[in-house]
Amino acid sequence: MGLILYNILRPFYIFLIRVYALFDGKAKKWVAGRKDWEAHISATLKPGEKRIWIHCSSVGEFEQAKPLIVALKGKYPDHKIVVTFFSPSGYEASQKNTDVDHIFYLPADTNRNAEKFVSIVSPSLVLFIKYEFWYYYLLQLKRKNIPTILVSGAFRESQPFFKWYGKFFRDMLRCFSFFFLQDETSKKLLHSIGIDKNVLVSGDTRYDRVSVIAQNITPIEAIEKFKGAHKILIAGSAWPGDEEVIKEGLPILPENWKLIIAPHEIDDDHIQKLRQLLGYESVLFSELDAENTGKDKKILIINNIGMLSRLFAYGDLAFIGGGFQKGGIHNILEPAVFGVPVLFGPIYEKFVEAKELADLHYVFPVRNAMESNEILKKLIADEAYRSSVSEALKQFMTTRRGATDIIMEGIKREKWLS
């Protein structure tokens, strides 16, 4: 029954995307990127290559994959790295990465597509990052006896794998050769459905990724000039719901505090709406130059992509967006690695690190603007408290490094690439 429903709903989902593509730019890219995929991939890949295939859903999963990509390139230089994406945002964000040899959209999950794609790519090893469970791809990989591992996996009891009706989903899990998991809870959940071999709690590779970023930070002169002697609240990856909460907090920022906000959407129309919403006089990052440093402005709006992870080095407090959206929060580890206390919205249950840090009171989930303002007031007014949270965050982040080494050791131990 599960497979029947999958075969009914999956084509319907693809049909909806194609219809939506008539009106939406992102959906249009999703469709266009998969056009003539078979000919494109066949023409791109060279005969005789050894390949490692890494699949990521989007940008966040690609960040998780980056430490492994670097390690795999170093340890197995005779293998080409093939990365696939489900979303256009992930595909576009990966284009300048020099450690990746081939980047493709993952074709829609049909039996024919999966058989053709796996045959063309012919990987020696496959890594799925965190999630993304595609039935026909996993089935083909298992049939061809190609080692397939889940990296930084995180499971929740509410997922269908662990429900009475979840046999179809459990069958997908049993196609994996090995699970490298983020936490003990995920391990116990897999054990509860009989998956108790080839399971290891390795941690989350994002801790390794943000540590590398922090250790290799390059200064941003324009940000240094804007900040001056001020304290900075950085709002990163802010969606409209986050922007409303941030707006309500502006009046409580003292004169020696400024706001840097990096909205999730940076098209001109949204930037104009954001400037109007915030109310205070603001400056765009693209407007900054030697003469206009923005030092007389309260708010700096980042209207580009790719700078956010470095921005947090200049932060004293952070508000990470996505917590008022269905998909949940963006990456709170990027500010945390710099010891920046983080606030975010209430939807964060899918994220192991957010739950753990919230339980320790090192980060602060909020349900509305009132709660956000109360926490901001305390963190701004009590510098000793803010400093203690900052130091605790730095120490926590240090203890969580090392997932990449554990996974690489597992790959070596299992001789998947020998």
Per-residue pLDDT at 40 exceeds 80: yes
- pLDDT attached to residue 381: 97
pLDDT digits (tens, 9 = 90+) for 283-332: 999 999 988 999 999 999 999 988 999 999 999 999 999 999 998 999 99
Percent of the chain exceeding pLDDT 90 equals: 86
pLDDT digits (tens, 9 = 90+) for 66-88: 999 999 999 999 999 999 999 99
Instruction: Please report, for the chain, the start and end positions of each structural domain, with discontinuous segments joined by +.
Output: 1-32, 34-203+402-414, 219-399
Per-residue pLDDT at 37 exceeds 90: yes
Q: Which pTM value belongs to this model?
A: 0.92
- pLDDT attached to residue 390: 98
Q: Which residue has the higher pLDDT, 286 or 18?
A: 286
- pLDDT attached to residue 3: 87
Percent of the chain exceeding pLDDT 70 equals: 100
pLDDT digits (tens, 9 = 90+) for 391-400: 999 999 999 9
pLDDT digits (tens, 9 = 90+) for 168-209: 999 999 999 999 999 999 999 999 999 999 999 999 999 999
- pLDDT attached to residue 22: 85
Per-residue pLDDT at 274 exceeds 80: yes
- pLDDT attached to residue 306: 83
200: enclosing H helix or E strand: strand 199-201
Residue 27's pLDDT band, with cuts at 50, 70 and 90, is: confident
Asked if 336 and 397 count as a contact pair (C-beta separation under 8 A), the reply is yes
Distance CA 152, CA 204 (A): 5
Distance CA 25, CA 127 (A): 29
SS3 content of the chain, % helix, strand, coil (to 5): 50, 15, 35
Instruction: Choose which CATH entry (3.40.50.2300, 3.10.450.50, 3.40.50.11720, 3.40.50.2000) describes domain 34-203+402-414.
Output: 3.40.50.11720
CATH number 3.30.70.270 is the correct assignment for the domain at 219-399? no
- pLDDT attached to residue 232: 98
pLDDT digits (tens, 9 = 90+) for 218-244: 999 999 999 999 999 999 999 999 999
- pLDDT attached to residue 204: 97
Asked if 54 and 137 count as a contact pair (C-beta separation under 8 A), the reply is no
Asked if 162 and 193 count as a contact pair (C-beta separation under 8 A), the reply is yes
Q: Does the fold of domain 219-399 match that of domain 34-203+402-414?
A: yes
- pLDDT attached to residue 245: 98
Per-residue pLDDT at 1 exceeds 80: no
pLDDT digits (tens, 9 = 90+) for 120-160: 999 999 999 998 899 999 999 999 999 999 999 999 999 99
Distance CA 228, CA 16 (A): 49
